[in-house]
Structure 1
Amino acid sequence: MPVSAPAATAPRPVQPSLADRWHSATAEALRAPAWVRVMPALLLGVDLVLEVAVPGAVAAGFLVTVLPVVVAFSLGPVAVGTVTVFTVVLQVLLALRAGHLLEQHHLWTYLATALAGAMGAGLAWQRRRQARDLARVRTVADTLQHAVLRPVPTRTGGLRAAARYRPAQADSAVGGDLYEVCETRFGTRVLLGDVRGKGLEAVRTVADVIGAFRNAAHETPDLTELARQLDRHVRREAAERHDEELFVTAVLAQHGPDGWVDLVNRGHLPPLLLRPGTVRPVDCAQQPPLGLGYLAVGADLPTTLRLHPGETLLLHTDGVSEARDTAGDFYPLDTRLARLPGTDPESVVDFLDRDVRRYAGTLADDLAVLALSPTG
């Protein structure tokens, strides 16, 4: 494919600032469930109802002794202190109504309420501290995700693009799947892959491979040579970690201004070509995954196809095709996609994101999809 000047590229979606994400995460961590917020009012209501329902000789104010502790699960230390004072005053009034104001067991109740308030204030302070720490961790994870898996621009070169990533672990922002789109002087270059393994080591490999791709994509004219560079990079990483089984399955694509797409498949699932009502796997020449290139046999040549207006090229990881329902059946990817009325990249990605999770319930593997369609 001839070298050409890069076409206009839409800016990547603007993300909230770090401070905004931290404040949002803190507010979410501090927000107690609705039933927790209702509990103090419910306890107070029950106490007052009993006060009216039982004979006047009995003071029901004993029930609200735990009120400051209950409030601590939803409010802060200042609110707990205010509720403690209110509770003691209420107990005094209820005891006065029953004529037991200074009886010994009521005096001990006032003291117990004050101690509960002190412990509740400490509990509220500790809860808020842990919530801020949790918010900080979530913000760092969110920032890491956006630094590693940057949002895909809606338009890049001659393509419209959309991507979606869902980690299998809900508390993890980044897993073992990866994607990237770069606009270069050689055309729009795309990478989607899946790292062997899980956990922090897989996240480290994802960051390493994406970083290597971002650098080499702008300097390497030939797409197959770009794949070989990534293969050597993964092998070096495997040697440094003494992990002989480290590899990355990946698909690399390059789209030029003439509408042709070059594809290099390194042990990954074949891309899908979508037209309204039809889905066709692209028959790519298979080569070993990145990191296992020394096992290659034969010429390493790209597969070339023409991407026409109205068509969409879909790249995905096995978190989509191998998602299972409760009966153990795989997600029928081709059948579901063939039912779509259109092939707009954003619509395809949104549909798969919702439909796979609805079909499988809890994801057993990371899910990554990337859809590309010509702008013409």
Structure 2
Amino acid sequence: MRALTPPSAARARPGGAHGTAQPHRTSDDVRAPLWVLLLPVLLLVVDLVFDFGWPVTTAAGFLLTVLPVVSAFGYGPLAVAGSTVLAVGLQILLATRAGHLSEQHHVWIYIATTLAGIMGTALSWQRLRRSRDLVRVRSIADTLQYTVLRPVPARVGSLRTVGRYRPAHADIGVGGDLYEVCETRFGTRVLLGDVRGKGLDAVRTVADVLGAFRVTAHETADLCELADQLDRQVLRDAAEGDDDELFVTAVLLQHRPEGLLVELVNRGHLDPLLLTPAGVRPVRCPECLPLGLGHLGGESSAPVAVELPPGHTLLLHTDGVSEARDANGEFYPLTERLTGLGSTDPAVVVDFLDRDVRLHAGSLGDDLAVLALSPAGS
């Protein structure tokens, strides 16, 4: 089974109602890379090769002076202290072998290595302390992300749901895209949208809209009234944040149990795509203002009904997909690429888009969210 899952949830431990649990980070998440761990060993080998490859009168142990500092970038204080003792001991042995044990410049090398060991030990302790703080901060961020963007079960009601969410910045788990799927007494309801703007203000709006949807989706029978309530929520956010230009483009969807029809309300968002064995076509909805701008005029149109029989898939997406640009500034040809895919299986479609968009764009310039829905029996 697959679910629309935030990046951190992929690291979540098993458990919970849908097979995922609250994200958990450990110190392994900030462990130094292998090449950093191997640097002290490489330095030690190079020093010994130089020493035994040169004439016996030459002592190359001076290279070991930086060994404690190099070790501090990958190891703990005790290991750094041990590397200091090892470095000074080898320097003494190599100097003795060359007959330079008590020469002044060698004595200063022993002292310099010892001082480097003290500084390296302090550096290692500070690095570990900062690493623990980083793990704690990231764990809090992951918990908040998990609360805002909950993993969606692979099946809700009689729909199979498959999706993917990719933030534009990999180190920021929540962006301006939002989604939610829930089963209510009115049927399965889905929300996918995109907040104007970026940063913490956009994340706050995402959290507020999703919170409002999770409550009103269970209490409001009419899909258009549900959209209007979300519109008023965004308008309140705009007033509180003194942002007259705040809005959220969104698609709301409703699917009644055992039915073949899906009802759609589009509030200024991109047209969903219907994938059928015969091809791909956009689902045209009446043009309505985005959430937060409904007060500017116009009444909500009736939902558009779309037939979704077995073998058909409805794809909702944000502009992180359709507006992804390649090196020449060309937009990603979404419809053409899906037409050439030759499959309507939701998992195949989502996995393909996840790979293909990033191959087209190289790196994401905007958040990306896709959600594919099909009858559970197909």
Range class of TM-score, shorter chain: over 0.9
Q: Number of aligned pairs? A: 361
Counterpart of 1:353 in structure 2 is 354
Instruction: Tell me the percent identity.
Output: 65
Question: What letter matches 2:157 in structure 1?
Answer: G
Is contact 1:319–1:364 with CA below 8 Å preserved after alignment?
A: yes
SS at 2:281 equivalent = strand
Over residues 132-181 of structure 1, what are the superposed CA-to-partner deviations in whole Å (9 max), with x where a residue is unaligned? 22222222222222111111110111100012111111211100000000
Is 1:34 aligned to residue 34 of structure 2? yes
How many Å separate the matches in 1 of 2:301 and 2:336?
32
Give how far 1:50 is off.
1.4
How many Å separate the matches in 1 of 2:330 and 2:51?
59
Question: What letter matches 1:208 in structure 2?
Answer: D
SS at 2:326 equivalent = coil
Is contact 1:231–1:293 with CA below 8 Å preserved after alignment?
A: yes
Counterpart of 2:241 in structure 1 is 241
How many Å separate the matches in 2 of 1:277 and 1:37?
55
How many Å separate the matches in 1 of 2:77 and 2:277?
59
How many Å separate the matches in 2 of 1:140 and 1:274?
39
SS at 1:286 equivalent = coil
Unpaired runs of 5+ residues, structure 1, are 1-10
Counterpart of 2:275 in structure 1 is 274
Question: What letter matches 2:19 in structure 1?
Answer: V
TM-score, normalised via structure 1 length? 0.93
Aligned counterparts, 1:312-351, within 5 A: 312-351=313-352
In the superposition, relative to structure 1, how do residues 189 and 91 fare at CA in structure 2: closer, same or farther (>3 Å)?
same
SS at 2:263 equivalent = strand
How many Å separate the matches in 1 of 2:129 and 2:345?
45
Is contact 1:162–1:370 with CA below 8 Å preserved after alignment?
A: yes
Could you tell me which of 22, 25, 41 is aligned with 1:22?
Answer: 25
TM-score, normalised via structure 2 length? 0.92
Counterpart of 2:287 in structure 1 is 286
Question: What letter matches 1:322 in structure 2?
Answer: E
How many Å separate the matches in 2 of 1:124 and 1:224?
59
In the superposition, relative to structure 1, how do residues 308 and 179 fare at CA in structure 2: closer, same or farther (>3 Å)?
same
The worse-fitting range, judged by mean Cα deviation, of 299-308 and 323-332 is 299-308
Counterpart of 1:66 in structure 2 is 66
Where in structure 1 do 4 or more consecutive aligned residues deviate above 4 Å?
Answer: none
How many Å separate the matches in 1 of 2:358 and 2:368?
10
Counterpart of 1:165 in structure 2 is 165
Give how far 1:306 is off.
1.3
Give how far 1:355 is off.
1.0
Give how far 1:187 is off.
0.4
Is contact 2:288–2:300 with CA below 8 Å preserved after alignment?
A: no
Unpaired runs of 5+ residues, structure 2, are 1-15
Counterpart of 2:298 in structure 1 is 297
Question: What letter matches 1:22 in structure 2?
Answer: R
Counterpart of 1:232 in structure 2 is 232
Could you tell me which of 2, 13, 17 is aligned with 2:18?
Answer: 13
How many Å separate the matches in 2 of 1:217 and 1:73?
51
Counterpart of 1:6 in structure 2 is none
C-alpha RMSD of the superposition = 1.4
How many Å separate the matches in 1 of 2:282 and 2:363?
27
Aligned counterparts, 1:78-89, within 5 A: 78-89=78-89
Give how far 1:279 is off.
0.7
The worse-fitting range, judged by mean Cα deviation, of 199-208 and 139-148 is 139-148
How many Å separate the matches in 1 of 2:60 and 2:334?
63
